Each structure stands twice: as C-alpha cells, then as structure tokens.
Amino acid sequence: MSEAIWHEVECGGYTADLPLWEELADSIGEEGPIMELGCGTGRVTLHLARRGAYLVLGLDSNPELVAEVWDKAEAGVAADAEIADVRDFDFRPAFELVIAPMQLIQLLGSRSERLACLACVAANMPPGGRAAFAIVEDVPQPPAEVGPPPLPDVRQVEGWIYSSLPLEPQIADGSVVVRRLRQTVSPEGELSERLNEVELHLFPAKVLEEEAAEAGLRAAGRRTVPATDMHVGSTVVLLEKGP
C-alpha cells in the first residue's frame, strides 16, 4: 500500500499548527530559505511556499513521500524536497528558519540521535537563525465517561477507499505508541486491514532546550498548538543560533 496515501489520509487534513508556522515564516520575511524536517507529502512545505515564502525545502527519509512533494509543487511555487536523514544532512547555504512539525524529534529513539539532529540544524543556520520543534510533553488520559467512538479519517483514491481509525494509545515509561487501524476497500469490495504503530519518545521541553544548548542553540521561548478532536496539543520549543 502507498505510504503517501496513508500520510495524506492521516495528516493531510491537519491544520491546527499552520498559523504558527505562518507566523514564524512571516517573521523572517524574505531574508532566506526555510527548511522543514520530516516534510512527508508536503503539508507544511507546500503551504508555506504557496503563501510566498522565499524558498521552502522539505527533508524526508522516505523517497515516496519526497516524490509526492515534487509532484504537487506547481510551477512558480518556491518549494522543493530532498531525501535525507534528519540526523545527518548538510544543505548549506544556511536556512533562516528550520521547523519540525508533528513531533518529528520524538520519533528519534535516543538522546544521541536528537543531538545529531540538533547539531545538523545548527550547522545549517546562520547566527540569529531560528528553529522550532513541536513535541508532546504529556499524553492526556482518556475521559472517565465513555463517549462516542472516534471517527476514522477516510479518503477515496481511484476507486479504493482508505480508512484510518485512531485507537487508544499504549503508554509506557518514557514513551507512547500511537496506534491506528488502517483499512482498505478495493473497487471490488474486498476489505483488508492492518495495525499501524508509531512510537513517540516523551520528554519535557526543558530537556530539549538543554540538548539544543549542547548543539549551540539557545532557548528562545515556547508556543502552544491547541488540541483538536483528532490530535493532541503540542508544545513548540523555539530555539535560536547564537553569534
């Protein structure tokens, strides 16, 4: 099954964080390019580029997702994408703003991996450059009262129906496993399904700020992305490269 389609089904309609990325992009004006870590199929990269950003470059390790950004980028829109590991990249000249939406940094499994990512970010920014990382600090507990079950995210593509139903996450010490039941119905009516799991490693914003300091990035404030019916809220850690 196409990972690009599932990415569109599960993430394509998410907009709660866009106002913050717009605000940060507007704050640098046309001073320089913007980089998005973990761009997926271009939800944020293309959105910012279409608003007139100088240039937005998305990075993702999945070639299929990067190709989707290329396919979506209209002529005249300053958007591009590259296949790269967020722990090991170099696309200098420097980027004035680097953003990491959707808890990208929490997909990395260890402190050393986060430090490698933060070091790359610092190396690809000039003095005064800014970075922003969205994280989940606490997983909300399920409500005591049983309400209606969540609705799946659904999309139809070329006669196929794709449905992704969020399940209750599995919470362990220091991490949470986000679970979704992915179902497809073929044009002939055949149903198939599989469980998709993504592990997020939990840590408070202070820890990320301390690790960023080791990479030469100083804390520059925090912002909040509100929760929605389908997504938890996020803390966005703002960082700045010193002189």
Q: What is the pLDDT of residues 159-193, one digit of tens each?
A: 999 999 999 888 888 899 999 999 999 999 999 99
Q: What is the pLDDT of residues 137-166, one digit of tens each?
A: 877 665 555 667 678 899 999 999 999 999
Rounded Cα distance, 36 and 86, in Å: 10
Instruction: List, in order of start, the domains of the chain with CATH numbers.
Output: 3-137+203-241 (3.40.50.150), 153-200 (2.20.25.110)
pLDDT at position 232 over 90: no
Question: Which pTM value belongs to this model?
Answer: 0.92
Which secondary structure element, helix H or strand E, spans residue 130, and what is its range?
strand 130-135
pLDDT given for residue 66 in this prediction: 96
Quote the tokens at residue 58. 């998305």
Q: Which is nearest to 5 in space by CA: 67, 95, 49, 53?
A: 67
Question: Which residue type, as a one-letter code, is found at position 110?
Answer: S
By the 8 A CB rule, do 15 and 43 touch? no
Q: What is the pLDDT of residues 41-92, one digit of tens each?
A: 999 999 999 998 789 999 999 999 999 999 999 888 899 999 999 999 999 8
Helices and strands: H and E segment counts in the chain: 6, 12
Residue 17 phi/psi, 5° resolution? -90, -10
Residue 165 CA, distance from chain mean position:
19
Q: What is the mean pLDDT of the chain?
A: 92
